[in-house]
A and B are shown apart, each in its own frame.
Chain A
């Protein structure tokens, strides 16, 4: 096998690996709805939708600041 052939096989293997890794990650994201801390990522969208100063934060930094 010459170098060009090795390169070609290597390239092919790398491509397959990257495709699997990417789709694996995407699959992971969608099957595990919540992350390790039990947080549903999709609820973070509310940070933009409910962004008035008196809306409740999605995950408050500390309780005392909530009552101005």
Chain B
């Protein structure tokens, strides 16, 4: 044992791979249920009248969003951090007892918080702020988990052998700092037990309830500054961190232009924070803020495409790899969807377009071409790349992976095309009026027209879920597949038939 060479230690990475998969299944299953509830309202009662409270759309929706964002995506971010971080800093977690312990505490506390979130949201305990539904005791838990992760990140950076920080590390640091700032400010709240009403009563409501420190327009502003940047620092920045590592590594190609990656990084950091105003167009926030939100959203195309084009060009001269490897297909389609949704978003942020798009299904379509096509694909690709290396076995089945790729791609396409048509139809119908200004349609008219598209979306989502289950199965079987030699792991991941 004495002379055993030092190795990277993937214990924590494996733990988070597990939660990525489990919470992915849970979150997406709930998503599919929601989709069918919108198409067929009877599904709200799928466990009977008695349990309707727990199965209706409004109770399940925040469970879907929080499970996929803070469960699936965040676990993926943590799993890849505990893998990529060690490798590009060239230092093993095994070298520091402290960092290993922090990592384990990080994981187990995270699980406790996840459990608390699931129970409380099912019970209907919520602050009613989108993506910030957790009540104050859970918020405190979230902050603790986050700080522990941060200590791990900076601790590992502190003992590194590589002097410069690889571009992915910059993105992980930005994720840490960005979310820390956003989460704290948006969740400023006062437990109701501390308050006294105008009539002099105190100890109002249950102990875990709270009221936000902001109200009205201010609340809206802080909320969407948070909400949009949660997209930025949860769905974009860490996913870019992943692709900057995994695509070059899997393809064996150096990043097309390292300098462009730096330029895009700073561009993204400066511009993203100002774009949140686009969620509040035509609302009560000051007009100049709305205009600023629109303008910064359009400028965002530049840094976003900077990263995405850099990724596509990394494959220059090596496009046969895209045809040959389903793993690279996932990443290339991922960056294509990234380009696509970062063009779509700015278009929706233009005021005149937003007048049609706001509150419609087009927004939901936009969200999901980003999260399904970009976030989901990239996280699955990262786990596929990691699996042979952390388990020292080849990926169980290449053909299963290829089949999964096509099934999910079809699912995504069905999802966003149906939502585009539904959204624009909806937007046009809401606005249509006759020569006297009377509305041409009532709400129920739109519902009737949209029904087929909702069904198509449900089917698309189901296909995506099926693909995700194939992914889970493939990773599960990988744990008992053919063992591989060290040298087989240089670039392209080894895969069984």
A-to-B contact residues, CB < 8 Å: 22, 25-26, 29-30, 41-42, 44-49, 51, 53-55, 57-61, 65-66, 68
Contact = CB atoms under 8 A, between A and B. Distances in A.
Nearest to B95: A68
Interface in B1-53: 5-8
B398 interface: no
Given A48-B168, A49-B248, A53-B6, A59 B162 contact: yes
A51 B169 CA distance: 14
Contacts of A59: 162-164
By CB atoms of chain A within 10 A, which of B161, B167, B248, B262 has the most? Answer: B161
Chain A facing B: main interface SS: helix
Nearest to B244: A48
Contacts of A65: 161
B90 A51 contact: yes
A44 B166 contact: yes
Nearest to B162: A57
A66 B161 contact: yes
B245 interface: yes
Given A49-B254, A53-B90, A41 B262 contact: yes
A51 B90 CA distance: 6
Contacts of A60: 161-163
A55 B164 CA distance: 15
B88 A42 contact: no
Contacts of A57: 90, 161-163
B161 A41 contact: no
B263 interface: yes
A58 B245 CA distance: 16
Nearest to A18: B299
A13 to B, nearest CB: 15
A17 to B, nearest CB: 14
B160 interface: yes
Given A57-B161, A61-B160, A49 B249 contact: yes
Contacts of B163: 57-61
B263 A47 contact: no
Q: Which 9 A-B pairs have the closest CB atoms?
A: A45-B254, A51-B87, A47-B166, A57-B162, A59-B163, A29-B259, A61-B163, A45-B255, A41-B258
A48 B245 contact: yes
A30 B262 CA distance: 13
A55 B90 contact: yes
B284 interface: no
Interface string B149-175: 000000000001111101110000000
By CB atoms of chain B within 10 A, which of A30, A61, A66 has the most? Answer: A61
12 contacts: A29-B263, A41-B262, A45-B254, A47-B164, A48-B88, A49-B249, A53-B5, A53-B6, A57-B163, A58-B164, A59-B162, A61-B160
A35 to B, nearest CB: 9
By CB atoms of chain A within 10 A, which of B88, B259, B262, B302 has the most? Answer: B259
A53 B249 CA distance: 15
Contacts of A49: 248-249, 252, 254
A26 to B, nearest CB: 7
B331 to A, nearest CB: 14
Interface in B256-304: 257-260, 262-263, 302
B164 A46 contact: no
A59 B164 CA distance: 7
B178 to A, nearest CB: 22
B210 interface: no
B229 interface: no
A42 B161 contact: no
B248 to A, nearest CB: 5
Contacts of B260: 26, 29
Contacts of A25: 263
Nearest to B168: A48
B264 to A, nearest CB: 11
A47 B88 contact: yes
Contacts of B258: 41-42, 44-45
Given A30-B259, A55-B90, A57-B90, A44 B168 contact: no
Given A51-B88, A53-B92, A45 B248 contact: yes
